[in-house]
């Protein structure tokens, strides 16, 4: 897994510029299956059933709480779309990529 998953999110209260297109493109290379969709970092995870989907949602919530950086989740029976954006800066920050890497690492446990 990428070194992003080893980092910790830094508090972001605004007043910081969002990542540039080049920075986003560079960080995206370190993530598998994530894409920039309507200005958000997005990925859809597929599961075999509702139980696995909800276990993933709960684990994602735990990581989000620990990092104090929360995604938008769209949950269905056997899939979950995760969208990250740093609302305080109305754009992407390194925190979005850190959390994306940590969520991907869940599936490698």
How does pLDDT run along the chain (109 residues), one tens digit per residue?
458 888 898 887 777 899 999 999 999 999 999 999 999 999 999 999 999 999 999 999 999 999 999 999 999 999 999 999 999 999 999 999 999 999 999 988 6
Q: Domain limits of the chain?
A: 35-109
Checking DSSP bridges between strand 35-37 and strand 40-46, what pairing results, if any?
Answer: antiparallel
**CATH fold label, 35-109:** Gyrase A; domain 2 (3.30.1360)
Q: Do residues 79 and 109 make contact, with C-beta atoms less than 8 angstroms apart? A: no
pLDDT of 1: 40
Burial 14-31 (b: 16+ CB within 10 A, else e): eeeebbeeeebeebbebb
Q: Do residues 30 and 4 make contact, with C-beta atoms less than 8 angstroms apart? A: yes
pLDDT of 2: 54
């Amino acid at each position: 897994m990428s070194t992003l998953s080893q980092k910790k999110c830094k508090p972001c209260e605004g007043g910081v510029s969002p990542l540039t297109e080049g920075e986003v493109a560079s960080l995206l290379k370190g993530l598998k299956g994530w894409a920039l969709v309507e200005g958000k970092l997005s990925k859809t995870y597929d599961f075999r059933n509702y139980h696995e989907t909800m276990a993933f949602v709960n684990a994602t919530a735990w990581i989000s709480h620990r990092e104090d950086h929360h995604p938008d989740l769209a949950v269905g029976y056997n899939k979950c779309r995760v969208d990250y954006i740093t609302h305080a800066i109305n754009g992407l920050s390194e925190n979005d990529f850190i959390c994306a890497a940590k969520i991907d690492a869940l599936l490698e446990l």
